[in-house]
Amino acid sequence: MAFLLQLPSPLCTFRHHPLPAFTSPTKASLSHKITQTQNSIQLSKWVPNFQSKSLNFLLSGSLALALSFTGVGFAEGKVGVNKPELLPKEFTSVIDVAGFLSDGQEKRLAQEIAVLEKDTGFKLRVLAQNYPDTPGLAIKEFWKVDDRTIVFVADPTFGNILNFNVGATVDLDVPRSFWSRLAGKYGNIFYWKEKGEDASIESAVMAISACLREPVGANNCSEVK
């Protein structure tokens, strides 16, 4: 479901060798195109494989930020935690087991998310946690996570509080750079330490809402509002 900005090293390293003295330019061009095609095929095979595993790591408590868009890189993995008893008895699109949000804030965010889903068909789900206090993978069934779902996990454990798991259909409409810019603007430790975790969460939700309402095109979601 989620995607990673950092590509695996085999796809990121391109070695350039000098051409033999009598190599035809036409053949060289063709060889280069074949190499590019092979790289594209490798990437297309690797990305879905990563997406199928990422949500399990993200929600089990192993929030190594390779699964988010913080730019921090790989953090030390944490032991998976699964506490379904932390889930509420009734459905809600906002679950705060960390106590970052007030009751009023939770209600406002839930209302915004409900209207967004009605208007766009995309499902935004927010989980505020502080590892190791997390409901874990039980959240997938609770929320019926699918390709039109964005799972937003707010967890300050590794510094940047914003972590996103993006469904495949959402990925088609929203540029991947949007998530990295969103995490950089509202998720960095300086922002939430000064403004509060609740401010980061609210700002991120409103920015996502604004992005998903924009017409799909070359410049949609180009700004984090």
**Which pLDDT tens digits describe the chain residue by residue (225 residues)?**
444 333 233 333 333 444 344 344 444 444 544 444 444 434 333 333 334 345 555 555 444 333 333 333 333 445 556 788 999 999 999 999 999 999 999 999 999 999 999 999 999 999 999 988 889 889 999 999 999 999 999 999 888 999 999 999 999 999 999 999 999 999 999 999 999 999 999 999 999 999 999 998 888 898 898
Angle, in degrees to the nearest 10, between helices 197-213 and 103-120:
10
Q: How many Å apart are CA 170 and CA 80, to the nearest integer?
A: 27
Q: How many Å apart are CA 7 and CA 4, to the nearest integer?
A: 7
Q: Nearest to residue 64, comparing CAs of 191, 175, 160?
A: 160
DSSP state of 183: I
Q: Nearest to residue 139, comparing CAs of 151, 157, 121, 148?
A: 151
Q: Which domains does the chain have, with CATH numbers?
A: 54-213 (3.10.310.50)
